[in-house]
Structure 1
Amino acid sequence: MGTLPDSEIALAETALLFARLDEPEADWRGARNHLSLLAREAAELSHWAGESAAAQAEALSGMLGARHDYSGDYETYDDLQNANLISVTERRRGLPISLGLIWLHCAEVAGWDCYGIDIPSHFILGLDADDGRVIIDVFASGQTLDDEDLENLLMRVQGSKPQRGGTIGRGRMGKRDVLLRLQRNIAHRRYKAKNLPGTLLCVEDMLRIAPETIALWQEAAVLNQQLDQMAAAVRCMGRVVALIPPGEDADVARATMRRLRSRLN
């Protein structure tokens, strides 16, 4: 997956592989069968849902929110099972990003232009059609958001009123961005729980699909250093030095690698 262009990434299949890495004994076959069922149902939606963004959003909401009861986990939000796709398909509950991934999987099968929108502390979807765009809050079972709803949501998660005419979040997210956001949720919760080995494993998983992301190699170097794994920290900084463009930041990276090497002796 790390070598593929974004458009060719199998979003749900990759998330399922991540889930298997975290929970090798979980019923991944059951999860994959369920995702296949959802794909078949999503393909049927495309035959009758209509061409408008609102109609397509309503069809997805009826299928995933109503028929299959997918919704946000309001009671145990920070539980790590909410970010594991196997657990999410079993419980029909999850984080905004893990639920959104399932919606994106189904929308892609239906042939609709649906994408993630990255906003702080939340994740929503945009769905475009000839008549415009609809914003979907998958955590609320697929509720569509008008301008006032969106403003209230942004106020709640960002703590300040969004500027009128400003862009929503960081715009349209690619598939790789969505997968990295999913894994970032896991890494953040593990780090808060002081589980440094688990955090490092999650960062290494992110590097599987984004092997040229300098910030991830830097993060891996820091975590290895905190775990007193100096040889691994040096290797990670070596990747930073190899990838980073010439300039002041490259000089800092080389100096950091020299310091780490000195601790090997």
Structure 2
Amino acid sequence: MRAPPDIRAHLVEVGNNADDDIDLAETALVLAAVARPCVSRAPYRRHLQALVDEVADYAGGTGAGLERQIEALTLVIVKRYGYGVTDDFNDLDAANLMRVIDTRSGLPVVLGILFIHVSDSLGWRVSGIDFPGRFLVRLDYNGRRAIIDPFASSRVLTAHDMRDMLKALSGNHAELTPEHYREMSARAVLLRLQENIKTRLLREVRLEDALDVVETMLLFAPDASYLWRECGLLQARLDRPQEAVASLEEHLRRSSGPSARYNASILLQRLRARLN
């Protein structure tokens, strides 16, 4: 579904903001509204604030130590409100923050957004971790760190746990590197959220819908050159050569990788030939 004008305007504003100025949960609600444009976001904002207030009450304020932070987040989000991972990873609603709040069930990245929003609202140092195949959340306090897994009811992970997860996904040759602990900006978390939706749509060969998702992503991440390429490829598959040319030209303008530029240039030549 194509984003309505008011939502597009909001996302363009997000796209103009620095990463640190992006309100992660609010933008996730705006993205959720693309599929539910007639639904008020106000009740969902109130629920998010209730999570913040209840975690703060349990933790005893913003100065809680690391263990207390994790305990408070787990007790309120997982145990009191019953948030958990969906049984159906192909359900698009599992990547929609509104529907996840309604059902208390969603993808790990959406649950992670709840953990990040609450923690950040309380002034706790928190970030998403770009781990392969699993969205993780890291909390930092006084030089100590803990990585929790929203997929496993906010279980605290050791390096051994993460190594086992990596090998299960990538094979026994895989080993942890600093890249596996890389923090994600709010924009990157939102992109990962939307990637889940796009991937499922492509799997179902819903190309028009997948293109709508990519175009929505470009509203809040216009500098992501790979998205311009994906946009152009989808437009080409949908027999929109003029639009595809414009998107691929934008990709070339923003991209610096020689391989990506070469492949895009070849496709551009073919598309321009179709237009002539």
1:124 and 1:136 in contact (8 A); partners too:
yes
- Tell me how far apart the structure 2 counterparts of residues 111 and 50 of structure 1 sit (CA, whole Å): 9
Over 3 Å counting, the alpha-carbon distance change for 1:156 and 1:252 in structure 2 is: closer
| 1:139 to partner: Cα distance | 1.7
Q: Could you tell me which residue of structure 2 aligns to residue 257 of structure 1?
A: 268
Please, which runs of 5 or more residues in structure 2 have no aligned partner? Answer: 1-13
2:130 and 2:183 in contact (8 A); partners too:
yes
- Pick the aligned partner of 2:230 from 219, 231, 255: 219
Judge which range, 47-56 or 201-210, deviates more.
Answer: 47-56
Task: Write the mapping of 1:36-185 to structure 2, written as runs, cut at 5 A.
Answer: 36-44=49-57, 47-48=60-61, 50-73=63-86, 75-160=87-172, 162-163=174-175, 166-167=177-178, 169=180, 171-185=182-196
1:28 lines up with 2:41 in the alignment: yes
- Tell me how far apart the structure 1 counterparts of residues 210 and 41 of structure 2 sit (CA, whole Å): 22
1:196 and 1:227 in contact (8 A); partners too:
yes
| 1:137 to partner: Cα distance | 0.7
- Tell me how far apart the structure 2 counterparts of residues 139 and 171 of structure 1 sit (CA, whole Å): 18
- Tell me how far apart the structure 2 counterparts of residues 246 and 69 of structure 1 sit (CA, whole Å): 45
- Deviation per CA, 1:146-190, whole angstroms, max 9, x where unpaired? 3343333333333436536x3362511111110000000000000
Q: Could you tell me which residue of structure 2 aligns to residue 9 of structure 1?
A: 22
Over 3 Å counting, the alpha-carbon distance change for 1:28 and 1:229 in structure 2 is: same
* TM-score normalised according to structure 1 size: 0.90
Judge which range, 31-40 or 46-55, deviates more.
Answer: 46-55
Amino acid at match of 2:135: F
2:66 and 2:139 in contact (8 A); partners too:
yes
CA RMSD in angstroms, aligned pairs only: 2.3
- Secondary structure, in 3 states, of the residue corresponding to 1:77? coil
- Secondary structure, in 3 states, of the residue corresponding to 1:2? helix
Amino acid at match of 1:71: G
- Secondary structure, in 3 states, of the residue corresponding to 2:275? coil
- Tell me how far apart the structure 2 counterparts of residues 46 and 62 of structure 1 sit (CA, whole Å): 10
Query: Identity of counterpart residues, as a percentage?
Result: 35
Over 3 Å counting, the alpha-carbon distance change for 1:48 and 1:212 in structure 2 is: closer
1:209 lines up with 2:220 in the alignment: yes
* TM-score normalised according to structure 2 size: 0.87
- Tell me how far apart the structure 1 counterparts of residues 45 and 65 of structure 2 sit (CA, whole Å): 30
1:49 and 1:55 in contact (8 A); partners too:
no
| 1:48 to partner: Cα distance | 3.9
- Secondary structure, in 3 states, of the residue corresponding to 1:238? helix
Q: Could you tell me which residue of structure 1 aligns to residue 211 of structure 2?
A: 200
- Tell me how far apart the structure 2 counterparts of residues 9 and 103 of structure 1 sit (CA, whole Å): 16
